[in-house]
Amino acid sequence: MSDQQRAACVIGYPAKHSRSPKLHGYWIKHYNIDGDYRAEEISPDDIADFIGSLASKGYVGANITMPHKDIAFELSEPDQRATAVGAANTLWLDAGKLRSTNTDVEGFIGALDASSPGWDARTNAAIVLGAGGAGRAVVYGLIERGIGKIHVVNRTLEKAQAMRDRFGNSVQPATWDELPELLKGAKLLANATSLGMHGHEPLNVDVSALADDAVVSDIVYVPLTTPLLAAARARGLDTSNGLDMLLHQAVRGFELWFGTRPKVTKELYDLLAADIEAS
Ligand code: ATR
């Protein structure tokens, strides 16, 4: 390690499963940067101390994953996106001050822009499944892009209602029973639940009622092609998956830590996709 080398890490509990070291490691090599990116498995008991001593541990910043996004938010100076979503997934030291943002917002939006250019001009109403932390980032991204009506479907209706309290009346809480009616002619459907993920319950949604120019997005990336995305593709609809989101959310952190804005390329997608498929 040279004096100039910059290091960042992903902090989680667990952290070993994270794909971020492979992803950032690829960019470090590709852009010939004197940098390092590691995984740090830190327990809830130790997380506050760890975040408080990032600089002395030699880090210029970090990604934050489960279950530490709330405490990372509390212990840092959040930007507008982290404040709006109420969670932080990216930290960086700015002249000694620890700042944070939530790049899941631009991850979701960046993946949509790449897979379905012009989607926002076509979409008047969107359907988001899920009202957890990922759902909040997805909904905030849609609001930032001017989508005026967002149906938030959630098992626990109170959480969808809390989302309306947070973001205003463009959020329309709904139950799963209402979904078949909402799907008719809809232009954007985003799954922000864990349903359909390997080892979780399946997600049963009939995409046949969606508009012919609809786009379907899924935050799940194991498997890469969820049954929801397979059905959407079979209909010829544009789709973006959880790996697209993961790659696009990583761009800003890399830029903040290492000073180069990296590109999401097919080569990088294929590298990570092979890793996921092998697991
Ligand atoms: P994250 O921060 O990744 O979004 P989360 O806060 O635990 O994780 O949210 C998970 C989302 O998946 C929630 O919307 C959850 O619905 P509830 O709010 O009702 O819990 C949804 N979810 C998880 N398992 C589900 C299931 N079996 N059926 C319906 N929704 C489910």
53-93 pLDDT, tens per residue? 999 999 999 999 999 999 999 999 999 999 999 999 999 99
Q: Between helices 242-258 and 20-30, what is the axis angle to 10°? A: 50
- Ligand 1 atom closest to residue 133's alpha carbon, by position in its atom list: 2
- Ramachandran assignment for 226, one of left (phi > 0), alpha (psi -120 to 50 degrees), beta (any other): beta
Q: Would you state the pLDDT for residue 3? A: 65
**CATH topology match: 6-102+246-278 vs 105-240:** yes
Q: Would you state the pLDDT for residue 279? A: 86
Answer whether 262 contacts ligand 1 (Cβ < 6 A).
no
CA of 128 to the centre of ligand 1 (A): 12
CA of 155 to the centre of ligand 1 (A): 8
Helices marked H in the chain — which ranges?
20-30, 47-52, 69-74, 80-85, 104-115, 119-122, 133-144, 157-167, 179-183, 227-234, 242-258, 266-278
Answer whether 201 contacts ligand 1 (Cβ < 6 A).
yes
In three-state secondary structure terms, 17 is coil
The alpha carbon torsion through 206, 191, 42, 83 (nearest 10 deg) reads: -160
pLDDT digits (tens, 9 = 90+) for 157-193: 999 999 999 999 999 999 999 999 999 999 999 999 9
CA of 45 to the centre of ligand 1 (A): 25
d(CA 199, CA 177): 24
Tokens of 184: 């008719």
Contact 233, 240 (CB under 8 A): no
pLDDT digits (tens, 9 = 90+) for 16-58: 999 999 999 999 999 999 999 999 999 999 999 999 999 999 9
Q: Which residues contact 186 (CB under 8 A, 6 or more apart)?
A: 125, 126, 127, 209, 210, 211, 214
Task: Provide the b/e sequence for 157-189 (b: ≥16 CB within 10 Å).
Answer: eebbebbbeebeebbbbbeeeebeebbeebbbb
- Ligand 1 atom closest to residue 194's alpha carbon, by position in its atom list: 12
Which sequence positions are flagged as catalytic?
A: 69
Look at ligand 1, atom 29, and give the residue with the nearest C-alpha. 155
d(CA 270, CA 260): 22
pLDDT digits (tens, 9 = 90+) for 96-117: 999 999 999 999 999 999 999 9
Look at the pTM and tell me if it is higher than 0.85. yes
- Mean model confidence pLDDT for the chain: 97
CA of 43 to the centre of ligand 1 (A): 23
Burial of 146: CB neighbours in 10 Å, binned 0-12, 13-18, 19+: exposed
- Ligand 1 atom closest to residue 201's alpha carbon, by position in its atom list: 27
Q: Would you state the pLDDT for residue 218? A: 98
Q: Does position 1 have pLDDT exceeding 60, yes or no?
A: no
Task: Supply the CATH classification number for the domain 6-102+246-278.
Answer: 3.40.50.10860
How confident is residue 4, by pLDDT bands cut at 50, 70 and 90?
Answer: confident
Contact 160, 171 (CB under 8 A): yes
- What mean pLDDT do residues 2-17 have? 91
Q: Which CATH architecture has domain 105-240?
A: 3-Layer(aba) Sandwich (3.40)
Q: Where are the domains of the chain?
A: 6-102+246-278, 105-240
Answer whether 194 contacts ligand 1 (Cβ < 6 A).
yes
In three-state secondary structure terms, 202 is coil
Burial of 125: CB neighbours in 10 Å, binned 0-12, 13-18, 19+: middle
